[in-house]
């Protein structure tokens, strides 16, 4: 009996690293959320991607599964909340990335913001060009008001990266015109509190990787992702924050109990 227990424990200890390094990082889980009163009409479907962090450990062909799942959702808008590259100096493959991101379809448009890794390793010289070539509009302390077929107006704003950029909430919100719903994109989630009190309905962020490795009684956290780590948060003043756990990995290329995520929001307002 003791021998069987020892063998079982050994197999379990061997299986966990295999799962963390080989299985979970290759997943792409779709999380769907309904936001707004159920009695209101469905106005907009927004799909969020974050932290792809292409590298030798997350080659561009890994995006094929993501592309299929994204297009299956038929989103109105796709948003990317930063960190396209992990370390641009070590892994570029710009044209391949452009072609993959181009395959992601949205009926209204695609928007992105800068992440801290999009500034490092020389990525700052190419990030915006790559995203633009893939039909993403990069919002850097800027925004755009979109008129829906219903006549309602949605503002989408994007904050510059809060670690290596020059973020300005005031500058971003200065682009906001008359609107019915306001969505703000930021890479780092802990800065979402700066949008409380600005009549912002939804803030979307990434950066945290959800901790990437989640252990019992211990949560790995990242700078400016210590307060808000993953999932949906109800901030004060009726502002909601969603922290996407990202698709790729960084530092240690493993995930445990925090699978890669595609988040989809059906908005009613």
111-125 confidence digits (pLDDT tens): 999 999 999 999 999
Q: Is the pLDDT assigned to residue 131 strictly greater than 70?
A: yes
The mean pLDDT value for 14-35 works out to 93
The Cα–Cα gap between 62 and 101 comes to: 12
By CB atoms closer than 10 A (0-12, 13-18, 19+), residue 193 is middle
pLDDT of residue 219: 76
Residue 151 has pLDDT above 70, yes or no: yes
Q: Going by C-beta distance under 8 Å and a sequence separation of 6 or more, which residues neighbour residue 246?
A: 50, 51, 52, 53, 83, 206, 207, 208, 209, 210, 260, 261
- DSSP H helices in the chain: 2-18, 63-73, 94-102, 127-133, 169-173
Position 6 scores a pLDDT of 44
pLDDT for 216: 82
For residue 186, give Cα distances in angstroms to 26, 51, 215: 25, 12, 27
Kindly report, residue by residue over 194-204, the tens digit of the pLDDT.
999 999 999 99
The whole-model pTM stands at 0.95
Q: Is the pLDDT of residue 218 over 80?
A: no
At residue 13, the pLDDT reads: 59
- pLDDT value at 98 more than 80: yes
pLDDT band at 8 (very low <50, low <70, confident <90, very high): very low
Strand partners, 215: 218
70 contacts 78 by C-beta, under 8 angstroms? yes
Which residue from 172, 183, 243 is spatially nearest to 210, judged by alpha carbons?
243
pLDDT of 95 > 50? The answer is yes
| 244 HSE (CA, 13 A, CB side) | 35
Q: How far is 94 from 86, CA to CA, in rounded Å? A: 13
């Amino acid at each position: 009996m003791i021998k069987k227990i020892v063998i079982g424990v050994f197999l379990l200890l061997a299986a966990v690293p295999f799962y963390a390094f080989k299985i979970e990082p290759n997943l792409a889980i779709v999380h769907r959320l309904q936001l707004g009163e159920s009695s209101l009409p469905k106005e907009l479907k927004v799909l969020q991607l974050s932290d792809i962090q292409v590298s030798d450990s997350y080659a561009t062909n890994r995006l094929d599964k993501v592309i299929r799942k994204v297009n299956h959702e038929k989103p109105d808008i796709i948003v990317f909340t930063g960190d396209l590259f992990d370390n641009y100096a070590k892994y570029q493959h710009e044209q391949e990335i452009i072609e993959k991101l181009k395959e992601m379809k949205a009926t209204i448009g695609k928007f992105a913001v800068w992440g801290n890794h999009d500034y490092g390793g020389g990525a700052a010289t190419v990030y915006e060009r790559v995203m633009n070539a893939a039909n993403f509009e990069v919002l850097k302390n800027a925004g755009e008001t979109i008129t829906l077929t219903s006549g309602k107006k949605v503002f989408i704003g994007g904050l510059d990266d809060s670690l290596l950029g020059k973020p300005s909430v005031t500058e971003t919100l200065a682009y906001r015109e008359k609107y019915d719903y306001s969505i703000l994109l930021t890479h780092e989630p802990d800065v979402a509190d700066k949008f409380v009190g600005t009549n912002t309905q939804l803030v979307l962020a990434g950066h945290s990787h959800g901790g990437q490795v989640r252990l019992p009684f211990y949560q790995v956290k990242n700078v400016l992702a210590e307060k808000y780590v993953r999932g949906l948060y109800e901030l004060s003043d009726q502002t909601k924050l969603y922290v996407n756990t990202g698709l790729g990995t960084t530092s240690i290329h493993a995930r445990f109990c925090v699978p890669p995520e595609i988040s989809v929001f059906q908005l009613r307002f």
